[in-house]
């Protein structure tokens, strides 16, 4: 990447959106994920070169600001989200939090060791999904809820080169599943699909690699990355979570932090509402644990399933997550009027249009335009968090 070579160089801060993993970004040491803004400090004499690079990466420059002439190495970061109060006042700037990013890069990953690799899909379900716990006690890796880590599969690709890393959302809190700060967990579905020409079943390289890991196996880990999906510090916040399949991973971390850990600096007293879309009941990942939380904290945790192969919409169609949002859109709209309500979406990108349609109808009932509210209020205030694929 770029570095300032002249201590007198004027520096400019670029805000970039839309970066995506592709052949060009694969050449860098940065794990790129298409979620939220990324920020780069660039010296004046490298601006043209940098803008050409962003174009090749598929990104869009949103803004450029001078940094008072101070020279500094280029850094890829994301600004912390704004915190909000629950008294209807305008959002206030959140205090700076130490957010770890890229402690380990692809050219120098840390080594985690598999503790367990547990199947989450029950009999009668579709596909295979594993909950994998890694021991990271011998590393400097640390992370926050909502972040991701990279996994570099063992072996080489068809060209004899090392496999590229794949990013996975972390499914554990910052303290790990054993609350000892020594582990990190993932929720991984083995990718499989049919080749359109041959009809052959193709399995994902990294997901298959993770699927077959055994306790004691060593794995190369990078990261963490991501600031788009971080929880606000406000313990009175309303957190609405929309998940499909393994998109539950960051929300498991959220819920465990809210309800299963005893954190003196974070005693959650707000409302957490999870909408979870799956194909079959047997595909409800972490089902027993989620329903235990619902029973134990009924005033603070709501759980709504959308089971597409078993449930129907009023018009007889399959019940997807956007159908459940449509059922509750009026209530969600009212919750969004509170300045400390955040929405998090993780999973299949196909749910987004239906959710927008449902919320547009609710907004119209209240004389508002959904897209204007989404862009001018929720996104502007850092209260709409999306990580879909």
Task: Give the annotated binding-site residues for NADP(+).
Answer: 169, 189, 246, 308-309, 318, 347-348, 387
| Residue 280 is among the residues annotated as catalytic for this protein | no
End-to-end Cα separation, the chain, in angstroms? 26
Give the burial string for 49-86 (b: 16+ CB within 10 Å, else e).
ebeebbeebebeeeeeeeeeeebeebebebebbbbbee
Catalytic residue among 35, 37, 148, 169: 169
Which tokens go with 116? Answer: 């367990």
HSE of 116, CA atoms in CB hemisphere, 13 A: 9
| Residue 169 is among the residues annotated as catalytic for this protein | yes
Helix (H, G, I), strand (E, B) or coil at 14: strand
| Residue 187 is among the residues annotated as catalytic for this protein | no
Cα separation, 165 vs 151, whole angstroms: 5
Binding site as annotated, residues: 169, 189, 246, 308-309, 318, 347-348, 387
Catalytic residue among 143, 168, 209, 344: 168
Q: Torsion angle of alpha carbons 275, 278, 280, 283, nearest 10°?
A: -100
Long-range contacts of 48-56 (CB under 8 A, 24+ apart): 49/2, 50/2, 50/14, 53/24, 54/14, 54/16, 54/19, 56/24
| Residue 387 is among the residues annotated as catalytic for this protein | yes
CB atoms < 10 A from the CB of 327, how many?
16
Going by DSSP bridges, is the β-strand pair 11-17/301-307 parallel, antiparallel, or unpaired? unpaired
The values of phi and psi at residue 32, to 5°, are -100, 130
| Residue 206 is among the residues annotated as catalytic for this protein | no
Which tokens go with 370? Answer: 């959904």
The residues assigned a catalytic role are 168-169, 346, 387, 389
């Amino acid at each position: 990447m770029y570095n300032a070579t002249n201590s007198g160089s004027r520096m400019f801060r670029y805000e970039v959106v839309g970066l995506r993993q592709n052949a060009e970004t694969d050449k860098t040491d940065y794990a790129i994920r298409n979620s939220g803004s990324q920020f780069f400090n660039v010296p004046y004499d490298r601006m043209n070169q940098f803008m050409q690079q962003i174009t090749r990466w598929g990104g869009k420059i949103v803004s450029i600001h001078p940094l008072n002439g101070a020279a500094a190495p280029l850094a890829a970061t994301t600004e912390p989200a704004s915190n909000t109060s629950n008294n209807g006042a305008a959002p206030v700037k959140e205090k700076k939090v130490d957010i770890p990013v890229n402690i380990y890069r692809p050219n120098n990953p840390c080594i985690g060791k598999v503790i367990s690799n547990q199947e989450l899909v029950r009999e009668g379900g579709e596909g295979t999904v594993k909950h994998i716990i890694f021991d990271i006690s011998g590393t400097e890796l640390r992370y926050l809820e909502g972040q991701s880590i990279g996994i570099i599969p063992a072996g080489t690709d068809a060209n004899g080169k090392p496999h590229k890393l794949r990013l996975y959302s972390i499914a554990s809190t910052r303290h790990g599943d054993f609350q000892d700060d020594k582990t990190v967990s993932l929720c991984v579905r083995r990718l499989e699909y049919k080749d359109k020409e041959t009809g052959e079943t193709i399995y994902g390289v990294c997901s298959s690699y993770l699927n077959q890991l055994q306790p004691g196996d060593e794995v190369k880990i990078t990261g963490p990355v991501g600031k788009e999906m971080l929880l606000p510090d406000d313990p009175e916040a309303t957190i609405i979570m929309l998940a499909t399949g393994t998109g539950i991973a960051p929300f498991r971390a959220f819920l465990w932090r809210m309800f299963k850990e005893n954190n003196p600096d974070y005693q959650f007293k707000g409302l957490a509402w999870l909408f979870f879309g799956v194909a079959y009941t047997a595909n409800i990942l972490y089902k027993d644990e989620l329903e235990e939380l619902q029973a134990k904290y009924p005033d603070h945790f709501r759980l709504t399933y959308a089971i597409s192969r078993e449930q129907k919409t009023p018009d007889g169609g399959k019940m997807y997550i956007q159908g459940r949002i449509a059922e509750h859109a009026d209530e969600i709209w009212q919750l969004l009027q509170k300045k400390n309500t955040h929405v998090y979406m993780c999973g299949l990108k196909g749910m987004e249009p239906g959710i927008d349609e449902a919320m547009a109808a609710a907004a119209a009932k209240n004389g508002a335009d959904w897209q204007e509210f989404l862009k001018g209020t929720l996104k502007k205030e850092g209260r709409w968090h999306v990580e879909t694929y």
